[in-house]
Amino acid sequence: MTDCRAQDTATTIGHPEQQFGRTMEIVKDLGVGRCMDVAAVRDRLYVIGSGKLHVLDITQSHSPELLGTLTNLGHTRQIEVQNDVAYITAREDGVFIVDVSNSAKPRLLSHYNAIELATGIAISGKVAFVACRTYGVELVDVSDPGKPLHLSTIRTGEAQSCVARDGILYVGVWGSKELVICDAKNPRAPQIISKTPLDGYGDGLCVRGSHCFVATGHHSRSMRKRDESDPGFGNGHGLEIFDITQPEEPAFVSRIKAPRYYRIGMDMWDVAVSGNYAYLADTYNGAFVVDISDIERPSFVGHRQLAHVKSRKASSPVAGFAIGKGVVYAAGAWTDLHVIDAPMAEPAKSEPDTPPVIPPFTPAQNDRFHVYKPDGQVWAVAFANDVALVACGSAGLHAVQLWPSISKLAEYPTEGFAVDVKVQGDHVYVAESKGGLSIWKREQDGTLAAAGRFRVRGQSIKQVVVPPRGNYALLDVGQSSFYIIDVTDPATPKKVLKDVRHGLLYGYQIAEGLLEDRYACCFWHVTGFYWYDLYSENTPVYSGDNFCVRAGANNGMAVLPNGKDALVTTNRRAYVVVNRQERRSLEELPRYGIKGRKLSGKPSIYGNTLYVADRFWGRVSIVDISSIREPRLIEELALEGNPCLVVEHNGAPVIPAGYQGLLVLKETKEGSEAK
Q: What is the pLDDT of residues 56-76, one digit of tens each?
A: 999 999 999 999 999 999 999
Residue type for 82, please? Answer: Q
The answer on pLDDT for 10 being more than 90 is no
* Range scoring the smallest mean pLDDT among 317-326, 384-393, 589-598: 589-598
What fold is seen in the domain 19-30+116-341? Answer: Neuraminidase (2.120.10)
pLDDT of residue 669: 63
Phi and psi for 250 in degrees, rounded to 5? -60, 140
pLDDT in tens, 237-291: 999 999 999 999 999 999 999 999 999 888 999 999 999 999 999 999 999 999 9
Residue of 373, 376, 320 lying closest to 35 (CA atoms): 320
**3-state class (DSSP) for residue 408:** strand
pLDDT band at 8 (very low <50, low <70, confident <90, very high): very low
Q: What is the reported pLDDT for 470?
A: 93
Beta strand 85-89 with 299-304 is unpaired
At 362 the pLDDT is 87
CA distance linking residue 175 with residue 575, whole number of Å: 22
CA distance 29 to 316: 13
pLDDT band with cut points at 50, 70 and 90 for residue 670: low
DSSP 38: E
**Quick check: bond before 643 cis, omega within 30?**
no
Say if residue 6's pLDDT is above 70: no
Q: CA angle, corner 451, sides to 449 and 457, nearest 5? A: 125
Q: Say how many C-beta atoms besides its own lie within 10 A of residue 399's C-beta.
A: 18
pLDDT at 552 over 90: no
In this prediction, residue 573 carries a pLDDT of 87
In sequence order, the 6+-apart residues with CB closer than 8 A to the CB of 119 are 77, 78, 89, 91, 130, 131, 132, 133, 159, 160, 161
pLDDT at 84 over 50: yes
What is the mean predicted confidence (pLDDT) over 403-427?
A: 97
pLDDT at 365: 77
**Around Cβ 190, how many Cβ atoms within 10 Å?**
26
- Min mean pLDDT across 241-250, 310-319, 360-369, 654-663 is at 360-369
Tell me which residue of 439, 483, 441, 428 sits closest to 460, measured CA to CA: 483
Q: Could you give the CA distance from residue 131 to residue 378 in angstroms, rounded to a whole number?
A: 20
What is the rounded average pLDDT of the residues 501-507? 93
Residue 459 parent element (H or E): none
Tell which residue, 115, 184, 183, 170, has the closest CA to residue 148.
Answer: 115
d(CA 501, CA 520): 15
Percent of the chain with pLDDT over 90: 92
Q: For residues 632-659, give the mean pLDDT.
A: 96
Q: Are strands 127-131 and 647-649 parallel, antiparallel or unpaired?
A: unpaired
Q: Which residues of 61-88 are buried (b: 16+ CB within 10 A; e: fewer)?
A: beebebbeebeebbbbbbbbbbeebbbb
DSSP state, residue 364: P
Per-residue model confidence (pLDDT) at position 667: 81
Predicted pLDDT at 537? 83
Q: Is pLDDT larger for residue 4 or for residue 247?
A: 247
Mean pLDDT of the chain: 95
What tens digit of pLDDT does each residue of 554-576 get? 999 999 999 999 999 998 889 99
- Cβ count near 588 (within 10 Å): 9
CA angle 537, 541, 545 (to 5 degrees): 120
Are residues 484 and 472 in contact, defined by beta-carbon separation less than 8 angstroms? Answer: yes
Which whole-number Å values give the CA distances from 378 to 88, 163, 214, 307, 507, in the listed order? Answer: 23, 28, 35, 44, 15
What pLDDT does residue 11 have? 58
Alpha-carbon distance of 44 to 61, in angstroms, equals 10
DSSP 317: P
Q: What is the DSSP string of 146-189?
A: TS-EEEEEE--SSEEEEEEETTEEEEEETTTTEEEEEE-SSTTS
pTM of this prediction? 0.93
Listed by start position, the domains of the chain span: 19-30+116-341, 369-604
For residues 395-405, average pLDDT: 97
The domain defined by 369-604 carries CATH number 2.130.10.10: yes
Report how far apart, in Å, the C-alpha atoms of 154 and of each of 300, 372, 430 are.
Answer: 35, 23, 29
- Cα–Cα distance between 338 and 270 in angstroms, integer? 16
